[in-house]
């Protein structure tokens, strides 16, 4: 079945540690996105990528990094510079041709600080 796979489902980070969240899609979509959800907040855009080897910062990119070496993969690294990393992270993808295309989401990764 086509879809988006995020792993792991739960992740724990120690202080000062970088962690990487995986996102893989087999929908052949050009565009991929990372969002963060905090209690009482809407989903907020961290980074997005319209094409391989290119990505842009979203509204809350500080403390995060991404790469897009393959069309299928868009991993997100939460660095030690991110002071409040505890949140639920969602990855999404879409066709990239115009604004009328829906986004398809993974099941998310919940990150907690030890």
Q: Which residues bind another protein (CB under 8 A)?
A: 4, 30-31, 33, 35, 40-45, 48, 50, 56, 58-59, 90, 94-108
CA gyration radius for the chain? 13
Of 108, 107, 109, 104, which Cα lies nearest the Cα of 26? 104
Cβ-based nearer residue to another protein, 43 or 80: 43
β-partners of residue 24 are 5, 73
CB of 58 to another protein, least distance (A): 5
CB of 20 to another protein, least distance (A): 20
Q: What is the dihedral of CA 70, 76, 79, 81, to 10 degrees?
A: 110
CB of 48 to another protein, least distance (A): 4
């Amino acid at each position: 079945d086509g879809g988006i796979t995020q792993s792991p489902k739960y992740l724990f980070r120690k202080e000062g540690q970088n962690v990487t969240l995986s996102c893989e899609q087999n929908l052949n979509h050009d565009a991929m996105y990372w969002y963060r959800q905090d209690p009482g907040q809407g989903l907020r855009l961290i980074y997005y990528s319209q094409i391989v080897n290119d990505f842009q910062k979203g509204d809350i990119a500080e403390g995060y990094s991404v790469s897009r070496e393959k069309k299928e993969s868009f991993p997100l690294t939460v660095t030690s510079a991110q002071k409040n990393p505890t949140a639920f992270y969602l990855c999404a993808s879409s066709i990239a041709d115009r604004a009328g295309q829906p986004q398809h989401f993974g099941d998310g990764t919940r990150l907690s600080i030890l």
